[in-house]
A and B are shown apart, each in its own frame.
Chain A
Amino acid sequence: MNSSVIVFPGSNCDRDVATALTNLQFKNKMVWHKDSELPKSDLIVIPGGFSYGDYLRSGAIAAKSNILKEVIKAAKSGCLVLGICNGFQILIETGLLQGALLRNKNLKFVSKDINLKIINNENKFCKNYKKNSIINLNIAHNEGNYFTQKDHLKELEDNNLIPFKYCDIEGSINESSNPNGSLNNIAGILNNNKNILGMMPHPERMVNSLISNSNGIELFTSILNK
């Protein structure tokens, strides 16, 4: 399976996600933001980091870059697109995903391991996870507080477009297990077609139990045998 990782000035999780993809047998290419052509890809990853220094607004400038025009085209024709952290912010800025990512509730950068409950696994990114299982991933962001309009929230809930929510170790989804103030503890969302996933947690940081844990692997293997 062919994957492409988009690299902006200021991306800093590009190497991490490329390492994870390559180790899991993806044929991966790095794509520079000034390029105007995408290599043949089954999966496009927009990695975490501080694209363009997060100036103006997180993801705002990256959303207007050369390569993003191609990413939008590919996404609209059904190619799988995964935006992690800053990548999620960029997808929101392009309009491929709806809603907003606000400053964290306590107005501080937050980096820690959190628990996620798999709410919906009927999509190409999560099908190797068991529904309602709890996984442990790492978050590291300043603007991860997801917000959206009531009717869109209903659409997300009704159409199974929320793959995971922040929870505690026992799986309870409540305010104390919400690290950033996200609406309904939402940690990631899908578009209506379920080919675009934006998520704040970093699955690429949890792919080796010698280092951290391997809870992120199933996300990538789900995509592999889509």
Chain B
Amino acid sequence: MIITKEIIDFHGLKLEEYSKIKLLMNREPNYLELGIFSAMWNEHCSYKSSKIHLKKLPVKNKNVIQGPGENAGVIDIGDGDAIVFKIESHNHPSFIEPYQGAATGVGGILRDVFTMGARPIALLNSIHFGDPNNKKTKNLLNGVVSGIGGYGNCIGIPTVAGETKFNSTYNENILVNAMAVGLVNKEKIFYSKAKGVNKAVVYVGSKTGRDGIHGASMASAEFDENSEDKKPTVQVGDPFTEKLLMEACLELMKKDSIISIQDMGAAGLTSSSVEMAYKGGLGIELDLNKIPCREENMSPYEMMLSESQERMLIILEDGKENEARQIFKKWDLDFVVIGKTTDTKNLSLKFKNEVVASIPIEALSSKAPLYDRKWVKKKLDKKRFNLKEHKKIKFDKAFFELISSPNHSNKKWVTEQYDQMVMGDTIERSGADAAIVKIHQKDKAIAITVDSSANYCKSHPLSGGKQIVCESWRNLVSVGAKPIAITNCLNFGNPENPEIMGQFAENILGIKEACEFLDYPVVSGNVSFYNGTNNNNIYPTPVIGGVGLIKNLNKIQNHRLKKIDSQIIIIGKTFGHLDQSAFINELYDIHDGMPPEINLLNEKNNGEMILKLIESENINSVHDISSGGVILALAEMSISSQIGIKIQKPQKTSNIFEYFFGEDQGRYLIEVNKNNLSKVEKKLKDNDIYFENIGITQKEYFEIDKDLKIKVKELYELNNRWYNTFNGLNN
């Protein structure tokens, strides 16, 4: 077959990239070889636009065992235990086919974690949908939530936390990011690097079908009006098979049989075999006649590009084949030796006794294109919101509207579709500042959170990058955990557009600055570009997954108020920054202006103070202040505990809206018993922490000065209404 411009185009390659292929091959590639190049050189697999920026991120400290570059990151949590975690996007497939797209997103990220020898112990997700009034939103929301639940519930890993957001920027390109966290013995971590020549390459798991062909290339292009036609590129998941595969792999990992192991994720058999060989400086030879196929007459092209789920590639030590085969037989899974490692540094594929492809491994990996794309700095948005220029709104009405808005309503409708308690170690679930999962049979736990703030990142990518790292850090601190490391999922628009590339570059700088200051390195992650349709790019939406350690289970905290007549204190200074706040977003539909400033020094001091206060057991509850400001944080504390509050507005406050709805950063609310008050106040003063005593807890009523009074029960109902109404359910 002659390779025409149309064929090159169809494979998502540029003409100059094709010229580079010919140069590396010293000849024209055949159709199969071209397919393999397209699978490896697309944005999703090659990181060709992002790599030079990602290199700037801090990836090491004393807790990091494995940083980016493996299936997932690994951190040390002491006592021989390590935590393996990563977040990944499945945006494009989920928009085309919400249930399967979301389900296989969960399946894929779980494989990344158990591939490294870890038993997954928690799942999280961050999902972003378009405007609720957009006609697609309801179907996408229902499909994605069912898909996430369908996979996680069946395999039996608790979905412990997440976020669900709505914004018209995602109308034609939703975001579905899934994070998995696993526990492994520090001495039994498995990697993907192949070692040794003539070692058996084994295919295990499900059979290969025609689903998901070109999935990774599809995820590396924008959508247009024909996106529906891409449905066949979405994979179909089977969580039952994944459960068997997970148990079989973990059982085999107890023995000393595995040299290296890699899951078949994006670009399936192609990327898994190439990555293993490349990391080991080896070649690999596969006999495609041996691939277990689900359908008849599959071509080498289809086998190499299929993204069928629940498959793994293993390189085995000599003489361990039988032992390994028995384990997979017990779990009723395919186990086939399909090839061997070689010293040729070549990917060599045989089919019907003929060599059908032969490509230098380096051409597919280290020699893949790398772009330093043009980017421009974001201009500062000098517009400032001035309350006086807008229609008057009553304080209580504004609050009621905000708390019953889609983005700030209680998300029980979503989280009750996820099994949060299976495995029996979930201490804090969705709704908390961070989830807490106990380490099985041990007296310690990890705290986990996922966060994003796309509107901040859109208006000022640098501050937005800093802010989101800080928010993640703050959430872990609020439950009493020492933050250890993060994983990031960077969802952006088209990198070929210099403005979008600028958002990316500046956002990375922001993340870097905050991570370095807080000693909170990035150990894994994923970049998802081309989120947009017909040149309409989404807001830059980095999602941060953070993990922290709790060494003493008796020193954890949550945001539920505990007692009547205790004191409520704000830690950190309130300036009343309303630009980019939920208040003006939701109530005035205004999206201009700068996000709140980040002061890393205050952030760190305030957070460390909170950890000390939790440690000393002098406080009853803690909540970080984020979207919606002080009043939303107070409401969440009240609603979750059914205890009321009575707050006085500070006398110096010029404007009640700015004070209670402003989104200044680095702040927390704490509840303190009156008899501990002087002790706590002294500590705060001694450590130069800015704080304000704003009121007390009380029975039944949520009350702010003379401006707002409502029963907590009614507040709960306001907060709980939206999802049910939206989905046509009775309350």
Chain A residues in the interface with B (C-beta under 8 A): 9-10, 12-13, 15-16, 19-20, 48-50, 52-55, 106, 108-112, 138, 140, 142, 202, 204-205, 207-208, 210-212
Contacts and interface: CB of A to CB of B under 8 A. Distances in A.
Interface stretch (B216-224, B238-246, B312-320, B604-612): B238-246
B154 A16 contact: no
A13 to B, nearest CB: 6
Contact of B416 (A55, A112, A202, A212): A112
B181 interface: no
B439 to A, nearest CB: 12
A9 B243 contact: yes
Contact of B424 (A10, A19, A110, A112): A19
A211 B419 contact: no
B20 to A, nearest CB: 45
A13 B418 contact: no
Contacts of B422: 12-13, 16, 48, 140, 205
Interface residues of B, number: 33
A111 B419 contact: yes
Nearest to A15: B423
Contacts of B153: 50, 109, 111, 140, 142
B524 interface: no
B482 to A, nearest CB: 19
B100 to A, nearest CB: 15
Contacts of B441: 19
A9 B331 contact: yes
B154 A50 contact: yes
Contacts of A110: 416-417
B243 A211 contact: no
A27 to B, nearest CB: 18
22 contacts: A10-B154, A12-B243, A13-B156, A13-B422, A15-B424, A19-B441, A20-B424, A48-B422, A50-B239, A50-B240, A53-B239, A55-B240, A108-B146, A109-B149, A109-B150, A109-B153, A109-B419, A112-B412, A112-B416, A138-B421, A210-B553, A211-B424
Contacts of B154: 10, 12, 50, 53-54
Interface in B418-468: 418-427, 438, 440-441
B332 interface: yes
B424 A111 contact: no
Contacts of B622: none
Nearest to B238: A53
Contacts of A202: 421
B553 A16 contact: no
B155 interface: yes
Contacts of A13: 156, 422
Contact of B417 (A9, A55, A108): A108
A169 B704 CA distance: 29
Given A50-B156, A53-B241, A211-B424, 11 more contacts: A12-B243, A50-B239, A50-B240, A54-B154, A109-B417, A109-B418, A111-B421, A140-B153, A140-B420, A140-B422, A205-B424
Contacts of B417: 108-111
B380 interface: no
A30 B589 CA distance: 59
Nearest to A19: B424
A55 B422 CA distance: 20
B438 A211 contact: yes
B243 A10 contact: yes
A19 B438 CA distance: 14
B2 interface: no
B243 to A, nearest CB: 6
A10 B426 CA distance: 21
